[in-house]
Amino acid sequence: MSSGNDCRPQTFTKPAFGEKEVTELVDRVFGLKVSWIRPLPSYDDQNFHVHVSRKEAAEGADEYVLKITNSEDSQEPDLIEVQTQAMMFLSAEGFPSATPFLTKDGNIMSLESGGTGPGNKKYMVRLLTYLPGIPVAKIATNAQIFYDIGQLAARLDKALSEKFHHPSLKSLHRGQFIWNLANVPLLDQYIYALGQNKYREVVEQVIEQFKGRVIPKLSSFRACINHGDLNDHNILVDCSSVSLENPQYRVSGILDFSDMSYGYYVFEVAIAIMYMMIESPDPLGVGGHVLAGFESVLPLTEEERGALFLLVSGRFSQSLVIAAHTALLYPENKEYLMITAKTGWKQLMKMFEVGQEAVEQTWFETAKAYGTSAPA
Q: Is residue 220 part of a domain?
A: yes
Confidence at 2, pLDDT banded by 50, 70, 90: very low
pLDDT tens digits, 213-234: 999 999 999 999 999 999 999 9
Residues 6+ apart with CB under 8 A from 175: none
* Predicted confidence (pLDDT) at residue 81 exceeds the cutoff of 90: yes
141 and 99 within one domain: no
Mean pLDDT score, 339-353: 89
Number of structural domains in the chain: 2
In the predicted model, is pLDDT for residue 60 greater than 70? Answer: no
Q: Do the domain assignments include residue 305? A: yes
Percent of the chain at pLDDT > 70 equals 90
Instruction: Specify whether 94 is located in the same domain as 55.
Output: yes
Integer Cα distance of 76 and 44 in angstroms: 15
Does residue 77 sit in the same domain as residue 98? yes
Q: What is the mean pLDDT of the chain?
A: 90
The C-alpha atoms of residue 52 and residue 63 are separated, in whole angstroms, by 6
- pLDDT tens for residues 244-272? 677 789 999 999 999 999 999 999 999 99
**Is residue 12 one of the residues assigned to a domain?**
no
- In contact, 125 and 110? CB cutoff 8 Å: yes
Task: Give domain status of residue 302, yes or no.
Answer: yes
* Same-domain status, 199 and 82: no
Over 50: is that where the pLDDT of 1 sits?
no
CATH at residue 187: 3.90.1200.10
Residues 161 and 175 in one domain: yes
Q: How far is CA 175 from CA 17, 158, 202, in A?
A: 31, 21, 25
The last residue of one of the domains, among 95, 129, 163, is 129
Instruction: Give the pLDDT mean for 289-299.
Output: 97
Contact 211, 185 (CB under 8 A): yes
How many angstroms separate the CA atoms of 127 and 7, rounded?
28
Contacts of 191 (CB under 8 A, 6+ apart): 200, 203, 204, 207, 321
pLDDT band at 10 (very low <50, low <70, confident <90, very high): very low
Of 244 and 367, the one with more pLDDT:
367
Positions annotated as catalytic residues are 229
